[in-house]
Structure 1
């Protein structure tokens, strides 16, 4: 996966905190691969974004299910975390998140980004800032606007519905 796509994903996840958009970005990248399976690292990232989306909205069951699926996927098909911009303790961070999901109210996760990707993200977002200043900036971000938090309910579904209908028509023609 190209660094640009990962940085786009992490910008949406960490800075904009638009977990729904993260899911969309990573799913698109995953499906553009010549060969893709449900065991790919991109699916792990999709599930983490989905878990955070549900958690923030108070859907603890959905968050728990997504985290469990992500962690099971990693256990069954481990990958080099740093290759995808994650720190070596990322799995532990997500396991702790899952463990506390029913006991701790949602707060923005301190995302386990590798140092390399942290610096690349800082260069993208705040090139004039020091890494320390950028860390403080990130730590103080809290996106709670309705459009971002409840994006799947607030977006225009017409294109998705039209695409599904077209797909169904194409499928019926093939049969």
Structure 2
């Protein structure tokens, strides 16, 4: 699968097998930041936003999810999605349906699958899952508190340190508040 970035392949496995949307966000955000000139940059942001939206939905934060999914729809580029082996029209339809469903009080969380149009990519992902003992397109482990609330349980010392460092840089340049 050399035509696809490794981070994207990892994203697909986290999204469809582990249903670890937090890690989807982490792996794609790191890749996106490391490749600022990539022409698919906005589409990478859309993929990050889809994962964050799904994370919010699973945690019951429907308004946060709606904002993320709407923003993702605005950042998607059909040609770039196609170059990543995804069907843009089907993905827009899935996001629209998800947005409609989460508006209802009786909504019960349901995973989504990204519409992979590249059958070789789909087969590779399924085989990689089998190799790792994972189930391709399996259901979320809804009772797994670690998975559901991952952002509240991680070590944030690096994030806090980096924010302080960036603030110091801005201060030295005369732009910090």
Q: Is the 8 A contact 1:20 1:53 kept in 2?
A: yes
Q: Is the 8 A contact 1:85 1:116 kept in 2?
A: no
Question: Partner residue of 1:141?
Answer: 139
- SS of match in other structure, 1:116: helix
Quote the offset at 1:170 in angstroms. 1.7
- SS of match in other structure, 2:115: coil
Q: Is the 8 A contact 2:53 2:64 kept in 1?
A: yes
1:33 to 32, 35, 40: 35
TM-score of the aligned structures, taking structure 2 as reference length: 0.83
Structure 1, residues 72-107: CA drift from partner, whole Å, max 9, x if none?
Answer: 223xx5434221231352221121111211222111
Question: Partner residue of 1:79?
Answer: 79
Question: More deviation in 28-37 or 144-153?
Answer: 28-37
In structure 1, runs of 5+ residues without a counterpart are none
Q: Is the 8 A contact 1:6 1:85 kept in 2?
A: no
Provide the rounded CA distance (Å) in 2 between the counterparts of 1:168 and 1:23.
24
Provide the rounded CA distance (Å) in 1 between the counterparts of 2:34 and 2:111.
30
Provide the rounded CA distance (Å) in 2 between the counterparts of 1:81 and 1:94.
14
TM-score of the aligned structures, taking structure 1 as reference length: 0.83
Question: Partner residue of 2:160?
Answer: 161
Question: Partner residue of 2:123?
Answer: 119
Q: Is the 8 A contact 2:129 2:136 kept in 1?
A: no
Q: Does 1:90 align with 2:130?
A: no
In structure 2, runs of 5+ residues without a counterpart are none
Provide the rounded CA distance (Å) in 2 between the counterparts of 1:82 and 1:19.
22
- SS of match in other structure, 2:79: coil
- SS of match in other structure, 1:109: coil
Q: Is the 8 A contact 1:67 1:98 kept in 2?
A: yes
Q: Is the 8 A contact 1:41 1:79 kept in 2?
A: no
